[in-house]
Amino acid sequence: MPTPPLAFLETNQERPDILRLPLAEAQTNGGYDALLVAEVLGMSVQEMADYLGRDQAGLRRKPANVSLQKDLGELAVLADLVLLSGTREYLRVWMRTPNPAMGYRTPLARLMTETDTAAVSMTEQIVSVLSGQGQ
């Protein structure tokens, strides 16, 4: 069975050498910065706080908190895959456009309602389509 594309986020393994660092511009010395990831995705600070289950003030105080890194890493990988197809503006439009493959929900709505699984699931779907294995 092949290793899932985000397996390195689930364990404390190093990122595979063949992968470039997703959304390097959203990183600080402490890891992914939630405010920068939100900006790239076109999410408000409140939407990001809701997604992460945090309050806005805490997110602003410690946007690169270690406890947020797994979730932010999943979002960064998803965003990076979508950016392969277009620009940041494309990513922001994609996040808020109803998608037939998601039952005509928007990717943002799916992220907000399936907070534990949506980013990984959408990433796996995109990888599957890009590799010609699925739809």
The pair of three-digit structure tokens given for residue 69, joined into one six-digit string: 């890194």
The pair of three-digit structure tokens given for residue 124, joined into one six-digit string: 């796996």
Write the pLDDT tens digit of every residue in 11-33.
555 544 444 567 888 888 889 99
Residue 53 placed within a domain: yes
Residue 125 backbone class (left: φ over 0; alpha: ψ -120 to 50; beta: rest): alpha
Residue 1 placed within a domain: no
Query: Which domain range does residue 74 map to?
Result: 7-130
Residue 66 placed within a domain: yes
Residue 135 placed within a domain: no
The pair of three-digit structure tokens given for residue 34, joined into one six-digit string: 């939630």
Residue 85 placed within a domain: yes
Residue 111 placed within a domain: yes
pTM over 0.75: yes
CB distance 118 to 111 below 8 Å:
yes
Give the containing element (helix H, strand E) for 28.
strand 27-28
Domains of the chain: total: 1
DSSP string, 76-133: HHHHHHHHTTS-HHHHHHHHTS-BGGGTTB-HHHHHHHSTTTHHHHHHHHHHHHHTTS
Q: What is the C-alpha to C-alpha distance for residues 4 and 125, in angstroms, rounded to an integer? A: 11
pLDDT tens, position by position, for the chain (135 residues)? Answer: 455 555 555 555 554 444 456 788 888 888 999 999 999 999 999 999 999 999 999 999 999 999 999 999 999 999 998 988 888 999 999 999 999 989 999 999 999 999 999 999 999 988 888 887 765
Residue 75 placed within a domain: yes
